[in-house]
Structure 1
């Protein structure tokens, strides 16, 4: 399949076939004149598109991709975001451990033929806290201490 046919879904017609069906039997100077007029229209449209893109490029020519060092300003950041190097505990593989703080919520997701229990876990890494939903079974096997009852008060809060 030709690229034109793949793009437009029909075969490319030559200048002879540009005209209406039934008028293709015309020969002579009239046929050449019509073909030349169509070529001029195409050339005009290409020139218009080219000038449009040139004007876009001329607007962007004033933007220079390099800046001078004197344009830099001193950054005054929030000191609460700075973590002392001594507090950051990185392993040999350049990773750090996130500590589980608590389980905040539970939910059951119903799939087509099974149910999946999830827990909402509060994590802390260094000085940042975040919350994610995790599979309950994986969390029970990895962090069993989060699922141990903490006394009668916790059971009463859950309605047991």
Structure 2
């Protein structure tokens, strides 16, 4: 017994024999030709759709390339010290740097000149974690006060409780607490 038949209790009908159960009809050459034309039409329409989506994706995608000696910013991600169901703060740092590009490793990988404070972090980064540095002093983040782990994350800790209230739901109350988190100057 076939797996399909064991699972569903009926025999599997292949696309070639889409007739009712009972006496089986064998297809003639005209029916086979029609099936082949339908398959070609389906493949052509699928290829048209794939080309349209590829053209849209290629148009929207912008390639990032950096030259050796150019300055870039490095993306970091904050880790919360406690569970928090809120959006990221506007003042939390997203990028640190600038760092100099030492070497173009591969099409999408670069080696950066990192300071000794980042000795635990590998110095090769994917292009998606880098951003071109525009000479602006407000972009520079003092990374000495951040303790960044090898996954390029840092921990934010709560500093003070600003407000507390209880939200009344249908059959329970939910305590809401507004917390001030440690923020670093960007």
Please state which band the TM-score falls in when normalised by the shorter chain: 0.3 to 0.5
Say which structure is richer in helix.
Answer: 1
TM-score (norm 1): 0.40
Say which structure is richer in strand.
Answer: 2
TM-score (norm 2): 0.36
Higher relative contact order (CA 8 A, sep 6+): 2
Largest Rg, 1 or 2: 1
